[in-house]
Amino acid sequence: MKKRAGAEPWEQQLRQALDAAADLGGEGPPSLADLQLFVVQVQREQRRQAARDLALFLPCAGALLAGALYAFYREPGLFLALQGAAAAALVVGAGVWALRRGQAA
Amino acid sequence: MAGEQMDDAALLARAQRGDAAALAQVLQQNYLFVKKYLVRVTLDRMQAEDLTQETMIRAIQRIAQYSGRAKFSTWLIAIATNLYTDALRRRQRERRLLAGTLPDPDPPGAGPGAGEDWREMLERLRGLPRDVALPVVLRHYYGYAYEEIAEWMGIPVGTVKSRTHNGVRALQRGSGG
Protein backbone atom coordinates (compact mmCIF):
# COMPACT_ATOMS: atom_id res chain seq x y z
CA MET A 1 0.00 0.00 0.00
CA LYS A 2 1.45 3.32 -1.06
CA LYS A 3 -0.60 6.07 0.53
CA ARG A 4 0.25 9.41 -0.94
CA ALA A 5 0.09 12.64 1.04
CA GLY A 6 -3.29 13.98 -0.16
CA ALA A 7 -2.66 17.71 0.01
CA GLU A 8 -5.83 18.87 -1.72
CA PRO A 9 -8.92 19.46 0.41
CA TRP A 10 -11.09 17.11 -1.60
CA GLU A 11 -8.51 14.31 -1.15
CA GLN A 12 -8.47 14.88 2.58
CA GLN A 13 -12.28 14.70 2.62
CA LEU A 14 -12.08 11.54 0.51
CA ARG A 15 -9.73 9.97 3.07
CA GLN A 16 -11.98 10.96 5.95
CA ALA A 17 -15.03 9.58 4.15
CA LEU A 18 -13.37 6.27 3.26
CA ASP A 19 -11.85 5.86 6.72
CA ALA A 20 -15.25 6.47 8.29
CA ALA A 21 -16.88 4.00 5.89
CA ALA A 22 -14.26 1.35 6.66
CA ASP A 23 -14.59 1.69 10.44
CA LEU A 24 -15.33 -1.91 11.42
CA GLY A 25 -15.92 -1.00 15.06
CA GLY A 26 -13.21 -3.11 16.63
CA GLU A 27 -14.00 -6.20 14.56
CA GLY A 28 -11.07 -8.60 14.37
CA PRO A 29 -10.03 -11.18 11.78
CA PRO A 30 -11.16 -14.82 12.05
CA SER A 31 -9.26 -16.93 14.54
CA LEU A 32 -6.16 -18.77 13.39
CA ALA A 33 -7.81 -22.13 14.05
CA ASP A 34 -10.84 -21.25 11.92
CA LEU A 35 -8.65 -19.95 9.11
CA GLN A 36 -6.45 -23.04 9.18
CA LEU A 37 -9.51 -25.27 8.93
CA PHE A 38 -10.75 -23.11 6.05
CA VAL A 39 -7.39 -23.39 4.26
CA VAL A 40 -7.37 -27.18 4.63
CA GLN A 41 -10.93 -27.42 3.24
CA VAL A 42 -10.12 -25.25 0.23
CA GLN A 43 -6.90 -27.15 -0.50
CA ARG A 44 -8.72 -30.49 -0.21
CA GLU A 45 -11.43 -29.38 -2.64
CA GLN A 46 -8.75 -28.07 -5.00
CA ARG A 47 -7.02 -31.48 -5.03
CA ARG A 48 -10.35 -33.23 -5.67
CA GLN A 49 -11.11 -30.89 -8.57
CA ALA A 50 -7.64 -31.50 -10.04
CA ALA A 51 -8.24 -35.26 -9.84
CA ARG A 52 -11.63 -34.87 -11.57
CA ASP A 53 -10.04 -32.73 -14.30
CA LEU A 54 -7.31 -35.32 -14.85
CA ALA A 55 -9.87 -38.13 -15.03
CA LEU A 56 -11.64 -36.18 -17.79
CA PHE A 57 -8.50 -35.06 -19.59
CA LEU A 58 -6.71 -38.39 -19.94
CA PRO A 59 -9.40 -40.26 -21.92
CA CYS A 60 -10.00 -37.19 -24.14
CA ALA A 61 -6.27 -36.80 -24.80
CA GLY A 62 -6.00 -40.52 -25.50
CA ALA A 63 -8.89 -40.38 -27.97
CA LEU A 64 -7.37 -37.36 -29.75
CA LEU A 65 -3.97 -39.06 -29.96
CA ALA A 66 -5.50 -42.27 -31.29
CA GLY A 67 -7.47 -40.29 -33.88
CA ALA A 68 -4.37 -38.36 -34.93
CA LEU A 69 -2.32 -41.54 -35.31
CA TYR A 70 -5.10 -43.16 -37.35
CA ALA A 71 -5.37 -40.06 -39.60
CA PHE A 72 -1.60 -39.97 -40.05
CA TYR A 73 -1.59 -43.65 -40.99
CA ARG A 74 -4.38 -43.22 -43.53
CA GLU A 75 -3.63 -39.74 -44.96
CA PRO A 76 -0.16 -38.59 -43.87
CA GLY A 77 0.06 -35.68 -46.32
CA LEU A 78 -3.31 -34.21 -45.36
CA PHE A 79 -2.56 -34.76 -41.69
CA LEU A 80 0.73 -32.86 -41.88
CA ALA A 81 -0.93 -30.01 -43.83
CA LEU A 82 -3.62 -29.67 -41.14
CA GLN A 83 -0.96 -29.70 -38.43
CA GLY A 84 0.92 -26.95 -40.22
CA ALA A 85 -2.26 -24.86 -40.51
CA ALA A 86 -2.98 -25.35 -36.79
CA ALA A 87 0.58 -24.32 -35.88
CA ALA A 88 0.31 -21.21 -38.09
CA ALA A 89 -3.01 -20.27 -36.45
CA LEU A 90 -1.39 -20.69 -33.03
CA VAL A 91 1.51 -18.40 -33.96
CA VAL A 92 -0.83 -15.75 -35.39
CA GLY A 93 -3.07 -15.93 -32.31
CA ALA A 94 -0.09 -15.58 -29.99
CA GLY A 95 1.14 -12.61 -31.99
CA VAL A 96 -2.24 -10.87 -31.86
CA TRP A 97 -2.48 -11.51 -28.12
CA ALA A 98 1.00 -10.12 -27.51
CA LEU A 99 0.22 -7.08 -29.64
CA ARG A 100 -3.01 -6.33 -27.78
CA ARG A 101 -1.31 -6.80 -24.45
CA GLY A 102 1.45 -4.47 -25.53
CA GLN A 103 -1.09 -1.83 -26.58
CA ALA A 104 -2.84 -2.06 -23.21
CA ALA A 105 0.44 -1.45 -21.34
CA MET B 1 12.22 -4.64 11.11
CA ALA B 2 14.61 -6.65 8.93
CA GLY B 3 14.03 -9.63 11.17
CA GLU B 4 10.27 -9.25 10.81
CA GLN B 5 10.56 -9.08 7.03
CA MET B 6 12.58 -12.30 6.97
CA ASP B 7 9.95 -13.95 9.14
CA ASP B 8 7.22 -12.83 6.71
CA ALA B 9 9.24 -14.10 3.76
CA ALA B 10 9.85 -17.43 5.50
CA LEU B 11 6.18 -17.68 6.38
CA LEU B 12 5.17 -17.04 2.77
CA ALA B 13 7.68 -19.58 1.53
CA ARG B 14 6.19 -22.21 3.84
CA ALA B 15 2.68 -21.22 2.79
CA GLN B 16 3.61 -21.67 -0.88
CA ARG B 17 4.94 -25.15 -0.10
CA GLY B 18 1.50 -26.11 1.19
CA ASP B 19 1.87 -25.40 4.92
CA ALA B 20 -1.75 -24.70 5.93
CA ALA B 21 -0.82 -23.18 9.28
CA ALA B 22 1.60 -20.73 7.67
CA LEU B 23 -0.95 -19.78 5.02
CA ALA B 24 -3.64 -19.27 7.65
CA GLN B 25 -1.30 -16.97 9.55
CA VAL B 26 -0.49 -14.91 6.46
CA LEU B 27 -4.17 -14.58 5.59
CA GLN B 28 -5.09 -13.59 9.14
CA GLN B 29 -2.44 -10.83 9.04
CA ASN B 30 -4.01 -9.38 5.89
CA TYR B 31 -7.68 -10.16 6.44
CA LEU B 32 -8.80 -6.79 7.83
CA PHE B 33 -6.72 -4.88 5.29
CA VAL B 34 -8.54 -6.66 2.46
CA LYS B 35 -11.95 -6.30 4.09
CA LYS B 36 -11.49 -2.57 4.71
CA TYR B 37 -10.36 -2.11 1.12
CA LEU B 38 -13.49 -3.87 -0.15
CA VAL B 39 -15.76 -1.84 2.14
CA ARG B 40 -14.15 1.33 0.78
CA VAL B 41 -14.68 0.41 -2.87
CA THR B 42 -18.08 -1.27 -2.61
CA LEU B 43 -19.59 0.93 0.15
CA ASP B 44 -21.65 -2.20 0.86
CA ARG B 45 -20.70 -4.09 4.02
CA MET B 46 -22.42 -7.36 3.00
CA GLN B 47 -20.89 -7.43 -0.45
CA ALA B 48 -17.49 -6.62 1.07
CA GLU B 49 -17.78 -9.63 3.38
CA ASP B 50 -18.68 -11.95 0.52
CA LEU B 51 -15.85 -10.65 -1.63
CA THR B 52 -13.37 -10.93 1.25
CA GLN B 53 -14.29 -14.59 1.58
CA GLU B 54 -13.88 -15.13 -2.17
CA THR B 55 -10.54 -13.34 -2.11
CA MET B 56 -9.28 -15.64 0.63
CA ILE B 57 -10.41 -18.71 -1.34
CA ARG B 58 -8.71 -17.55 -4.49
CA ALA B 59 -5.53 -16.65 -2.60
CA ILE B 60 -5.42 -20.16 -1.12
CA GLN B 61 -5.96 -21.72 -4.55
CA ARG B 62 -3.31 -19.58 -6.24
CA ILE B 63 -0.71 -19.10 -3.51
CA ALA B 64 1.86 -20.98 -5.57
CA GLN B 65 1.52 -18.30 -8.28
CA TYR B 66 2.54 -15.45 -5.96
CA SER B 67 5.87 -14.36 -7.38
CA GLY B 68 7.01 -12.06 -4.56
CA ARG B 69 7.61 -9.15 -6.96
CA ALA B 70 4.95 -7.05 -5.21
CA LYS B 71 3.95 -7.03 -1.56
CA PHE B 72 1.62 -9.83 -0.55
CA SER B 73 -1.04 -7.31 0.47
CA THR B 74 -0.85 -5.79 -3.02
CA TRP B 75 -1.30 -9.25 -4.55
CA LEU B 76 -4.42 -9.71 -2.42
CA ILE B 77 -5.72 -6.29 -3.51
CA ALA B 78 -5.23 -7.34 -7.12
CA ILE B 79 -7.26 -10.51 -6.53
CA ALA B 80 -9.98 -8.60 -4.68
CA THR B 81 -10.18 -5.98 -7.42
CA ASN B 82 -10.43 -8.64 -10.08
CA LEU B 83 -13.29 -10.35 -8.24
CA TYR B 84 -15.10 -7.06 -7.64
CA THR B 85 -14.73 -6.03 -11.30
CA ASP B 86 -16.20 -9.38 -12.37
CA ALA B 87 -19.09 -8.86 -9.93
CA LEU B 88 -19.71 -5.37 -11.35
CA ARG B 89 -19.86 -6.74 -14.89
CA ARG B 90 -22.30 -9.47 -13.85
CA ARG B 91 -24.47 -6.91 -12.06
CA GLN B 92 -24.47 -4.65 -15.13
CA ARG B 93 -25.60 -7.56 -17.30
CA GLU B 94 -28.31 -8.41 -14.77
CA ARG B 95 -29.52 -4.82 -14.67
CA ARG B 96 -29.82 -4.77 -18.45
CA LEU B 97 -31.80 -8.01 -18.33
CA LEU B 98 -34.08 -6.97 -15.51
CA ALA B 99 -34.44 -3.38 -16.79
CA GLY B 100 -35.76 -2.38 -13.40
CA THR B 101 -34.50 -0.68 -10.30
CA LEU B 102 -32.50 -2.75 -7.87
CA PRO B 103 -32.50 -1.68 -4.24
CA ASP B 104 -29.58 0.44 -3.18
CA PRO B 105 -26.90 -1.47 -1.31
CA ASP B 106 -26.80 -1.04 2.45
CA PRO B 107 -24.59 1.91 3.24
CA PRO B 108 -21.71 1.27 5.64
CA GLY B 109 -22.23 2.54 9.17
CA ALA B 110 -21.07 6.09 9.68
CA GLY B 111 -18.19 6.14 12.09
CA PRO B 112 -17.02 9.15 14.06
CA GLY B 113 -16.28 12.01 11.77
CA ALA B 114 -14.57 15.34 12.05
CA GLY B 115 -17.47 17.22 10.44
CA GLU B 116 -20.10 17.14 7.76
CA ASP B 117 -17.78 17.49 4.76
CA TRP B 118 -16.74 13.85 4.75
CA ARG B 119 -20.39 12.75 4.83
CA GLU B 120 -21.13 14.82 1.74
CA MET B 121 -18.04 13.37 0.11
CA LEU B 122 -19.26 9.89 0.97
CA GLU B 123 -22.61 10.60 -0.66
CA ARG B 124 -20.90 11.92 -3.79
CA LEU B 125 -18.74 8.80 -3.84
CA ARG B 126 -21.83 6.58 -3.54
CA GLY B 127 -23.35 8.49 -6.43
CA LEU B 128 -20.48 7.60 -8.73
CA PRO B 129 -20.77 4.53 -10.96
CA ARG B 130 -18.91 1.71 -9.18
CA ASP B 131 -16.46 1.24 -12.06
CA VAL B 132 -15.55 4.94 -11.76
CA ALA B 133 -15.31 5.01 -7.96
CA LEU B 134 -13.00 1.98 -7.94
CA PRO B 135 -10.06 3.54 -9.83
CA VAL B 136 -10.52 6.81 -7.91
CA VAL B 137 -10.11 4.97 -4.59
CA LEU B 138 -7.23 2.85 -5.85
CA ARG B 139 -5.41 5.91 -7.19
CA HIS B 140 -6.21 8.66 -4.71
CA TYR B 141 -6.56 6.72 -1.48
CA TYR B 142 -4.19 3.79 -1.95
CA GLY B 143 -1.79 5.46 -4.37
CA TYR B 144 -1.52 2.61 -6.88
CA ALA B 145 -0.20 3.30 -10.36
CA TYR B 146 -2.54 3.58 -13.35
CA GLU B 147 -0.84 0.58 -14.95
CA GLU B 148 -1.49 -1.59 -11.90
CA ILE B 149 -5.12 -0.48 -11.74
CA ALA B 150 -5.57 -1.18 -15.45
CA GLU B 151 -4.17 -4.68 -15.08
CA TRP B 152 -6.37 -5.50 -12.10
CA MET B 153 -9.54 -4.13 -13.70
CA GLY B 154 -8.77 -5.65 -17.09
CA ILE B 155 -9.17 -2.35 -18.94
CA PRO B 156 -6.75 -0.11 -20.88
CA VAL B 157 -4.65 2.44 -19.01
CA GLY B 158 -6.32 5.25 -20.94
CA THR B 159 -9.73 4.14 -19.71
CA VAL B 160 -8.45 4.11 -16.12
CA LYS B 161 -7.12 7.62 -16.50
CA SER B 162 -10.33 8.98 -18.03
CA ARG B 163 -12.55 7.30 -15.42
CA THR B 164 -10.33 8.60 -12.63
CA HIS B 165 -10.35 12.09 -14.09
CA ASN B 166 -14.15 12.09 -14.47
CA GLY B 167 -14.63 10.66 -10.99
CA VAL B 168 -12.35 13.23 -9.39
CA ARG B 169 -14.18 16.06 -11.18
CA ALA B 170 -17.50 14.77 -9.86
CA LEU B 171 -16.12 14.51 -6.33
CA GLN B 172 -14.57 17.97 -6.47
CA ARG B 173 -17.87 19.61 -7.38
CA GLY B 174 -19.23 21.15 -4.21
CA SER B 175 -16.27 20.12 -2.09
CA GLY B 176 -14.49 23.42 -2.50
CA GLY B 177 -11.37 21.52 -3.47
**Averaged over B21-50, what is the pLDDT?**
95
Residue to substitute from B23, B30, B141, B149, interface A, most A β-carbons within 10 A: B141
Interface touch B175/A4, C-beta < 8 Å: no
Q: Is the pLDDT of residue B11 over 80?
A: yes
Torsion of CA B42, B44, B47, B51, to 10 degrees: 40
Which chain B residues touch A39 with a CB distance below 8 Å? 20, 23-24, 27, 60
Q: In this predicted structure, what is the pLDDT of residue A80?
A: 87
Minimal C-alpha gap between B73 and chain A (Å): 7
For the four alpha carbons of B20, B25, B31 and B33, in that order, the dihedral sign comes to negative
The proportion of chain B whose per-residue pLDDT surpasses 90, expressed as a percent, equals 69
Least confident of B28-37, B60-69, B109-118, B160-169: B109-118
Average pLDDT, chain A: 87
For the stretch B70-92, pLDDT in tens is: 999 999 999 999 999 999 998 88
The DSSP string of A54-80 is HHHHHHHHHHHHHHHHHHHHH-HHHHH
Confidence of residue B111 (pLDDT cuts 50, 70, 90): very low
Q: Is the pLDDT of residue B106 over 50?
A: no
Confidence of residue A72 (pLDDT cuts 50, 70, 90): confident
Residue to substitute from B19, B37, B121, B169, interface A, most A β-carbons within 10 A: B121
Task: Please tell me which residue of chain B has the smallest CA distance to A35.
Answer: B24
* Closest residue to B157, CB basis, from A12, A18, A104: A104
Average pLDDT, chain B: 86
Q: How many helices and strands (H and E) does chain B possess?
A: 8, 0
Minimal C-alpha gap between A101 and chain B (Å): 9
The DSSP string of B28-97 is HHHHHHHHHHHHHHH--HHHHHHHHHHHHHHHHHHGGG--SSS-HHHHHHHHHHHHHHHHHHHHHHHHHH
Cα(B42)–Cα(B62) distance, integer angstroms:
24
For the stretch A85-99, pLDDT in tens is: 999 999 999 999 888
pTM for the whole thing? 0.76
Interface touch B28/A29, C-beta < 8 Å: yes
Confidence of residue A49 (pLDDT cuts 50, 70, 90): very high
Q: In this predicted structure, what is the pLDDT of residue B168?
A: 94
Interface touch A43/B108, C-beta < 8 Å: no
**Averaged over B56-74, what is the pLDDT?**
94
Interface touch B20/A16, C-beta < 8 Å: no
Chain centroid to CA B133? 11
Q: Taking every pair of C-alpha atoms in chain B, what is the biggest distance, in angstroms? A: 56
Q: In this predicted structure, what is the pLDDT of residue A52?
A: 93
Assess contact for B77 and B37: CB atoms under 8 A: yes
Minimal C-alpha gap between B18 and chain A (Å): 9
Size of chain A, expressed as the number of residues it contains:
105
